[in-house]
Structure 1
Amino acid sequence: MARIKPQTLLQQSKKKKGPARTSVLTIALYSFIVIVIGFFLFATYRHWSQRSRFQAGNDISVSEGENAFVDSKKSDLPGYAVINTSKGPITTELYKESSPEVVDEFIDLCQKGHFKGMLFHRVIKHYVIQAGDNQGSGATEDWTLRGKHYNQLHTSLKHEAFMLGTSKGKHDKKGFELFITTAPIPDLNEKLIVFGRVIKGEDVVQEIEEVDTDEHYQPKISIGIIDVTLRQSV
Structure 2
Amino acid sequence: ADRNAIYAKRSEVLNIVGELEALMVTEFPFDIPDEYRHLPRFLGRAKVDIETDYGTLSVIVDGYSAPLTAGNFVDLAQRGFYDGLEFTRVEDFYVVQAGDPPGPEDGFIDPDTGEERTIPLEILVKGDTEPIYGFTLEQMGVTLDDPMLPFSAFGTLAMARPDRDVNGGSSQFFFLKFESELTPAGINLLDGEYAVFGYAIENKDILREFQVGDRIKTMRVVEGAENLVQPT
Give the SS at the match of 1:189.
Answer: coil
- Which residue of the partner structure matches residue 170 of structure 1? 167
**Residue correspondence of structure 1 range 47-196 to structure 2 within 5 A:** 79-133=46-100, 136=106, 149-151=120-122, 152-153=132-133, 154=136, 155=147, 157-160=149-152, 161-168=154-161, 169-171=166-168, 175-184=170-179, 185=183, 186-196=188-198
Report the RMSD for the aligned CA atoms in angstroms: 3.2
Provide the secondary structure at the position in 2 that maps to 1:158.
coil
Q: CA deviation at 1:190?
A: 4.3
More helix by share: 1
Give the number of the structure whose alpha-carbon radius of gyration is greater: 1
Aligned to 1:32: none
SS at match of 2:190: helix
Q: Is the 8 A contact 1:120 1:130 kept in 2?
A: yes
- 1:228 maps to a residue whose letter is M
C-alpha change, 1:207 and 1:105, in structure 2 (3 Å) is same
- The structure with more strand, counted as a fraction of residues: 2
Residue 149 of structure 1: CA displacement? Answer: 2.1
Q: Counterpart amino acid of 2:150?
A: K
Which residues of structure 1 form unaligned runs of 5+? 1-66, 138-146, 212-218
Distance (Å, rounded) in 1 between the aligned partners of 2:44 and 2:208: 29
TM-score, normalised by the number of residues in structure 1: 0.52
- Structure with the bigger RCO (C-alpha within 8 Å, sep 6+) is 2
Q: 2:218 aligns with which of 205, 208, 227?
A: 227
Moved over 6 A (4+): none
TM-score, normalising length: structure 2: 0.52
SS in 1 for 2:200: strand
What letter matches 1:157 in structure 2? L
**Alpha-carbon distance between aligned partners in 1 of 2:91 and 2:175, rounded to the nearest angstrom:** 11
Q: Describe the superposition over 1:11-61 as per-residue Cα deviations: whole angstroms up to 9, x where unpaired.
A: xxxxxxxxxxxxxxxxxxxxxxxxxxxxxxxxxxxxxxxxxxxxxxxxxxx
| Kept in 2: contact 1:102–1:195 (CA 8 A) | yes
What residue ranges of structure 2 are gaps of 5+ in the alignment? 1-24, 30-40, 108-117, 123-131, 137-146, 225-232
Measure how far apart 1:76 and its partner are.
8.0
User: Would the alpha carbon gap of residues 229 and 190 (structure 1) be closer, same or farther in structure 2, given more than 3 Å must change?
Assistant: same
Shift of 1:86: 2.3
